[in-house]
Amino acid sequence: MSRHSARTTTRSRWVLGALVVGLPLSLLPATAGAQPSAAPTSAPARGWHHKPGTLPKVPVMTGSGGAVSSVDRDASQVGIDVLARGGNAADAAVATAAALGVTEPYSAGIGGGGFLVYYDARTKKVSTIDGRETAPATFTANTFRNPDGSPMDFDTVVNSGLSIGVPGTPALWAKALRDYGTLSWNEALKPAERLAAKGFVVDQTFHDQTAANADRFKKFPETARVFLRGGQAPAVGSVFANPDMAKAYRTLRTQGVDLLYRGRLGEAIAREANAPHTAAGVSVMGGQMTLRDLAAYRALTKAPIHSQYEGLDVFGMPVPSSGGIAVAEILNLMKAYERRTGTPTSQVSDVQYLHRFSEASATAFADRNRYVGDVPGVPVPELVSPAFAAERACLFDPAKAQPRPIPFGSPDGSYTSCAQGATAQKEPYEGISTTHLTAMDRWGNVASYTLTIEQTGGSGITVPGWGFLLNNELTDFNFAPLTPGVPDPNLPGPGKRPRSSMSPTILLEDGKPFLAVGSPGGATIITSVSQTILGYLDRDLSLVDAIAAPRLSSRNGTSEGAEPAILDGPTGAALTAMGHKLASAGTPNEIGAATATRSFGHNRFMAAAEPVRRGGGSAMVVHPDR
């Protein structure tokens, strides 16, 4: 695919993309429910202007005035309302994220954390905000180990107060508004409060996620009261309101973010984390969170991970996320394979493309697992350098998969030989529940924001009277060293932030916004984001088709997850013949659910979202093409 064709959009391509994913022509952009074509004003956002569930949900839209893409229609509309009334991308990102805390309460919310990558049109620079949860000050490398040194049972820790980290999401929202936004804290949270109070229409995904978690929710009376209606998952098509969460947003927006970090909301969080209320006959471990831990929390501004691919500048999230590093290494490896074989990624068959991608992903994960964590001395410049990738690519065989797990490399700055490491490590576990949004505004600001409470439903513990779930983010730490005798950067520690795979990404072309992309999905986020970028830039796919393409996720485990279109067809058979050990992607047999926004300059945008996975996403622009 030529770079020119990858970066061109037309009305016909939009319609083609809509037909590919089965979107009815009656739902073309003019009916997508974004704000009408009246000129935006400087008035603050006041919430949405539709009845919940009445707007069509479309996966791609082009137009002007700004763009928002998220997994949820009501949340995307909140962000579009903000942009339509003069707010910028930071304002829209915070307001949309707060709304996702209402409609996606099992993936994100007040009780969680996340990462924001932001391009500031005024300074023309990309920066990041680290809103990852932190461990209590009492945590040590042995906190998740039994007296005999063995790791604690994972599920037991997940469903306990010991898994709960100090929430970072509200601090990130406050910092993003303070550093980049134009709305007040009060104004930004008001739409989410209204959405929680009025309710949203339950879709199949929300119903299924509730039903899948019903048994563990019943262990915690407050969670059962809030999320199980009559002891059951709410029916598809019913309206789900959360008055306790509305109270949480109302109190936060009127009393300020310190209510959580130095006030009564924080006291309620710590009290519940340390002594969770449980049903009769149920006992779970308490946590170690203190009011001092809450007061010490800070959302941190950090320099982004910077790499280049196909002439574009690629910016991602730094440690404690591994996303920016791993995405950069995957892209570098794909380029190194091109040089070794003499054949560009754009010209190989689908089988060879996925073979290359699998080898690159497994190699990047080998290095990520060994070197990346919230510790000093992570060799970031070397891990993202093309020279390191070239050394790591020297064993690439176009006809055969390397045995898994691949040993980690030596990012030491000396890349003159094909010497490879001898130590291979197993794949650590990471939960799959997350949500992602992107936003662009008419001034050129760009937000790519991934937020989470870790597993679907987090710890399963709801703060009494406040209506939101607490995270189980501390289970993203490795409970014990992956390999005896090999330093492990992701063991728990005092105030430490667990490693993450969240990969909010922004790409610039000649210093100007080009693409913002990200995905949910735990460790599969890295592969979903990389595959979306490669599909769009190299594989002759429109943006929405790059998001929708069948996924493969090789994370250096004994097998690699594949969706049915790959696993059950001739592509999967060919990969298996090359030595790849493919396995089902698991329940519900899907990988990721990416969202993206594309800038064409001159106040022209495309928003794109997942068409099918997780029930499909919602792409909107302020003024849709007609």
- Give the residue among 313, 326, 332 at the shortest CA–CA distance from 506: 313
Cα distances (Å, whole numbers) of residue 602 to 120, 307, 399, 443: 17, 26, 45, 9
Which of 434, 435, 450, 524 is an active site residue?
434
Q: Within a 13 Å sphere around the CA of 406, how many CA atoms are in the beta-carbon half?
A: 27
Q: Is 343 a catalytic residue?
A: no
- Give the residue among 357, 410, 346, 420 at the shortest CA–CA distance from 383: 410
Torsion sign across C-alpha atoms 346, 350, 352, 358:
positive
Q: Tell me how many degrees the CA angle 483-484-486 measures, rounded to the nearest 5.
A: 70
228 close to 469: Cβ distance less than 8 angstroms: no
240 close to 200: Cβ distance less than 8 angstroms: yes
Token digits of residue 152: 């604690």
Alpha-helical runs (H) found in 163-220? 169-179, 185-198, 204-217
**Cis omega (within 30 of 0) for bond into 588:** yes
Q: Which residues contact 137 (CB under 8 A, 6 or more apart)?
A: 290, 292, 293, 296, 494, 495
The letter for the amino acid at 439 is A
- Coil, strand or helix: which one is 447? strand
Enter the DSSP assignment of 257.
Answer: T
Which H helix or E strand runs over 269? helix 264-274
Neighbours of 49 (CB within 10 A): 11
Torsion sign across C-alpha atoms 394, 395, 400, 401:
negative
**Cis omega (within 30 of 0) for bond into 398:** no
151 close to 480: Cβ distance less than 8 angstroms: yes
Catalytically annotated residues: 434
